[in-house]
Amino acid sequence: MIRYQGGSLEAFQEIYAQLAAAVRRYLSHLASGSEFADDLLQETFLQMHRSRAAYNPAYAVRPWVFGLARNVFLMNRRAARRWAEVHEFREELPEFPVFPEADGLGSRDQIRRGIACLSADQAEALLLHHEWGFSFDEIAGMLGISAAAARARASRGMADLRVALNSLQRTRA
Amino acid sequence: MIDHSPKPPDALMRAIAQDLKPVKPSPRPLRLALETAPLALLVSSIILLAVGIRGDSGILGPLLTWGASAAQFTLAILLIWIAAHESTPSGRLPKGSVYSVTVAALLVVVAITISTFSISPVGSTLHVAGTLRVVPPLIMDLACGIGSTVAGGILVLLFSWMFRNSLGIRPTVAGALYGAGAGVAINAGWRIACPFPTLRHALGAHGAAIIATVLLGALIGGFLGGRKFHSADRDS
C-alpha cells in the first residue's frame, strides 16, 4: 500500500490480485447475491484509489479495503433506483460462502439457506470472522461497534445458524 | 458478466493509470486531532485579543473562567479525534461511544453556562476600544451569534482542508463531528470574553453558533466526500 501511495501501478495490481476475490464475495453477501456486486467491486477499487491518501500505514490494508467496500455498498443502497435493482435479486439465494466451522452442520445449500435466515448484522459479523478471518477488533473498527458486540453478533449468528439448520433437517426428515 | 480473475479490468486500470501521482499518507487520528489544536487555540483566542477578558472573571474565579474553557477545549479536540476515527474505514469507534461523547460534550457546555450564570447572573459591561460600553442585549446576541459563527466557520474551513485526505468514509458524520469540535473550541474562547451570562444569550446566541458550525461541517464534509465518491462513479 505504501508503494501504491508512492505511485506504483504494479502495487495496485498486487493489492487487487490479493483482495478482489474476497471483497467481491463480501459485496455479494451485502448485495444479497446480486450481479451488482461486480459493479460495486470496481467502485470499491476506484474509491480506494481516490481515498489512497486517507490510508495510514498503521492500519492493516485488508480491513481498510473491506470497510471501504461496505461504505461503497451503503452509498449505493441510498440511491433508490439501484437499491431496487439489488432487491430484484433477493428471491434467489445469495452466494454465501460456506466456512469451515459450518461445513459439518449440513449441506452447502442448507448452510446457505441457514445464513439467509439470520439477521443481516449477525450474518455479516459471522462471515467476516469465520469466512474472511477478521479479528473481532477489526470487525468492530469496520462496523462501528465494540469488539464485544462483534463477538456477540458472530456468536449469536452461529447459534441461530445451528438452530436454523436443525429445523431444516427436521423438516426434511 | 465481469471476469473474476485477479487481474483488474482494463477500464479500471485506465482510470487508475490516469492519476497515479504520489500521495502523502494521512496521519493517525490522534496526530490529526493534535495538529488541529494550535489552529483552534489561535482562532478561539482572537476574541480575547479584541475585547479582553470579561469583567466578572474575578467573581467567577480561575476555575470557572480558565478551567472551564480548558475543559471545553479538550472536549473539542476529543470530538475532532472521534471525527478522524469515524472517517477511517477500519478504525471506527463504537456508535454508542461516539453518541455518548458528543452528547456529553454538549451537556458540559450547557452545565458550564448554567454554572457561570448561577455565580455571576448580572455579568459586566463590555470593553470596546478601551472604553466601557453598555450594549443592548439584542445587539450582543447578534454580535456573539454572528461573530462566533464566523470564527467557527473559519475553523471549519481550516479543518476541512486538514481533513481533505482523511474522509475515507462517512464524510458527513465526520464533518459534523469536526464542526462540533470547532464550535465548542470557539465557545471556549468566546465565553471568557463575553460579559453577558444570561441563559437566553449564552445558550441562544452561543448555542446557535455551535449548531451552525455542526451543520457547516456536515455540509462541507458531505460535499468533499460526495465529490470523491461521485468522481469515482464517473470514472467507472
Q: Which of A12, A51, A74, A95 to mutate to test the interface with B (most CBs of B within 10 A)?
A: A51
Chain A's closest residue to B24, CA to CA, is A53
Please name the member of B23, B90, B236 whose beta carbon is closest to the beta carbon of A52: B23
Q: Name the residue ranges covered by the structural domains of chain B.
A: 34-124+135-235
- A93-139 per-position pLDDT tens digit: 555 566 666 666 677 777 777 787 788 888 888 888 888 889 999 99
Q: pLDDT confidence of A7, banded at 50, 70, 90?
A: confident
Q: Write down the H helix ranges in chain B.
A: 10-18, 29-51, 57-62, 68-86, 95-119, 137-162, 171-193, 199, 207-235
pTM of the model: 0.80
> Which option is the CATH number for A100-172: 1.10.287.130, 3.40.640.10, 1.10.10.10, 3.30.465.10?
1.10.10.10
How far does Cα B5 stand from its chain's mean position? 46
Residue A4 DSSP label: H
Q: pLDDT confidence of B217, banded at 50, 70, 90?
A: very high
Contact B30/A at CB under 8 A: no
Contacts of A49 in chain B (CB under 8 A): 15-16, 19, 232
Contact A146 B26 (CB under 8 A): no
Fold assignment, A2-88: Rna Polymerase Sigma Factor; Chain: A (1.10.1740)
Q: What is the mean pLDDT of residues B35-52?
A: 89
Average pLDDT, chain B: 85
- B54-107 per-position pLDDT tens digit: 888 888 888 998 999 999 999 999 999 999 998 888 888 998 899 999 999 989
Q: Where in chain A is the domain with CATH 1.10.1740.10?
A: 2-88
| Residue % of chain B over a pLDDT of 90 | 43
- Which of A114-118, A139-143, A169-173, B17-21 tops mean pLDDT? A139-143
CA angle A120, A87, A128 (to 5 degrees): 30
Q: What is the mean pLDDT of residues B17-45?
A: 89
pLDDT for B3 equals 47
Contacts of residue B163, Cβ cutoff 8 Å, sequence gap at least 6 = B32, B83, B84, B87, B174, B175, B178, B221, B224
- A140-160 per-position pLDDT tens digit: 988 889 899 999 998 888 888
For residue A23, what are the CA distances in angstroms to A45, A120, A141, A172?
10, 17, 17, 34
Contact B62/A at CB under 8 A: no
The answer to whether B182 and B155 are in contact (CB under 8 A) is yes
- Rounded to a whole number, what is the distance in Å from the CA of B171 to chain A's nearest CA? 11
B-proximal residues of A, 90-129, CB under 8 Å: none
Contacts of residue B130, Cβ cutoff 8 Å, sequence gap at least 6 = none
Contacts of A75 in chain B (CB under 8 A): 229
Q: Which of A52, A68, A135, A143 to mutate to test the interface with B (most CBs of B within 10 A)?
A: A52
Helix orientation angle between B207-235 and B95-119, rounded to the nearest 10 degrees: 160
User: Quick one: residue A32, left, alpha or beta (phi over 0 = left, psi -120 to 50 = alpha)?
Assistant: left
